[in-house]
Amino acid sequence: ADRLTGKDCVTVCIFGEGAVAEGEFHESLNLSALWKLPVLFVCENNLYAMGTALSRSESVTDIRAKAAAYGIDAHAVDGMDILAVEAVAAIRTGKGATFLECRTYRLRAHSMFDAQQYRDKAEIEVWRQRGPLIAFTTRCKQQQLITEADYQQLLQQADAEVDAAVT
């Protein structure tokens, strides 16, 4: 619709790796490649579709390779690194769709009804230490972009903003 109306927009589709098993995933990639549509596909691959490990539901676990098979510019990035996830500028050049497989991890349950019996608590803790907020904050402190006091102030501001929104 944006192309037909002459709008310079990029459509962003965000989904989990569980959606890769659906026909709509393949149909969307095929048409986006065929018509060179300005679409950014972002797959949050957190290794578990609901309660099923990716390795138990997909014969090919390299999601990026599935997108690349359609001739789409496809990349796998560390989804835990907020600086690694960037692609919209490339799409605006008119080359068509781009696919990002953000290899990440879901730290919490899939839903409030998820007892998380399918993964080990130690596994979750290992990933928690690689969490995006911890990693980015550590990087900023090491590069002396913020101090501990700056960080604490940001946390207080964020908490105040959340409290105001809840109120």
Which token pair is 40? 């950014």
CA atoms within a 13 Å half-sphere pointing along the CA-CB vector of 27: 4
**Global confidence as pTM:** 0.75
Angle at alpha carbon of residue 53, lines to 76 and 26, rounded to 5°: 55
- The 10s digit of each residue's pLDDT in 40-91 is 999 999 887 777 778 888 888 899 999 999 999 999 988 888 777 666 666 7
Yes or no: say if 10 and 94 are a contact pair by the CB < 8 Å rule.
Answer: no
Residue 99 burial (10 A CB sphere; 0-12, 13-18, 19+)? buried
Residue whose structure tokens are 């080990």 = 120
